[in-house]
A and B are shown apart, each in its own frame.
Chain A
Amino acid sequence: MLTDRPSPVRSASEAPFYRAVGDEMEVFQAAAGGGLPVLLKGPTGCGKTRFVQAMAHELGRELITIAGHEDMTSADLVGRLLLKGGETVWVDGPLTRAVREGAICYLDEVVEARQDTIVVIHPLADHRRELALDRLGTTLPAAPGFQLVISYNPGYQSVLKNIKESTRQRFVAIELGFPPAEIEAHIVSHEAGIDAETAGTLVRLGNTIRGLDGSPLREVSSTRMLILAGALVAHGLSLRGAARSAIVHTLSDDPDVVRALGELADAVLPQT
């Protein structure tokens, strides 16, 4: 976390694959133009991270990703003083580096971080656009290209883990969902390297599970999950085996639910 060497996340040659579903790309571009912070909402595995990567590439900015965890301190974000030889040297944290260099700073799963840590981003996320470095006693104005992006999964709602209103209201929200069937089939076939027909079958299974009325599942089959199943197929596993390992058994631990899902998957997948 204390790296001071700039490491480009992705070279310009390989553009991340992202298919827009709605107007999310336009919204993001407009927000980037105004330097406005963005809050990405969406179920797990619907492509939040991929979207940010694609947008960073599109805008030609560097992307610095920070994964939120329970024990993240503000020093992990901002930076700290280190000893070098006989004196202390300030080392920028990832957030400070993004502020200095005008990169896009992506805070993944921001609710996982402690509330007091999140407060550090407040002055960056409003009209001030500056970062207070209390150890150095200075404030650092954000470079023009700097943009803050946080992601958040509204599915894991718990009383103790939610975004504070004061944090939330500083952001432009973009809601991502699962793409429509044709686009999703295209994505699965591209990502997993399987033919369009198999991808279509997997997507049909995914949509059938998502469409269950009164489902006991906490999370539905995500695009990422379908890509995983597709990758298993691409490496020689049968479609049924892949669906069982990557979808049915992943979604639930309850033997009854697993059995019922297995029946559903069997009915939707082609008979051999």
Chain B
Amino acid sequence: MSFTYALDHLEPNRAHIVRLSGRLDSTTSLAFEKSLLELLANTGARLLLDLTQLDYISSAGLRVVLVAAKRSKQAQGHLVLFGLQPMVREVFEISGFLKILRTTSSLEQALATLDQA
């Protein structure tokens, strides 16, 4: 599979984590957007996106992240991304997304960010 994701729940931290893996591009992003927005609607107040295993993202993938971030904010939820690989981080930076999204290196930092929100 070119792209997979898994959902985790951190009970003590009252946070859900979506762990992405592989390539988020135009072939994989449509289905993931649908799933992610459903997740947000059902569980979404405190959501982390684990990007440590995400090897590649295109503008189609960025679109999904942006839609999710907007939806989260509209619902007064919190969304934090962590573990961006260097080239993925560069794409976020070029797109101006580092200014409008919360990103951290580690899970611990992401949880701390959620708690400060």
A binds B: no
Listed in ascending order, the chain B residues whose CB lies under 8 Å from chain A are: none
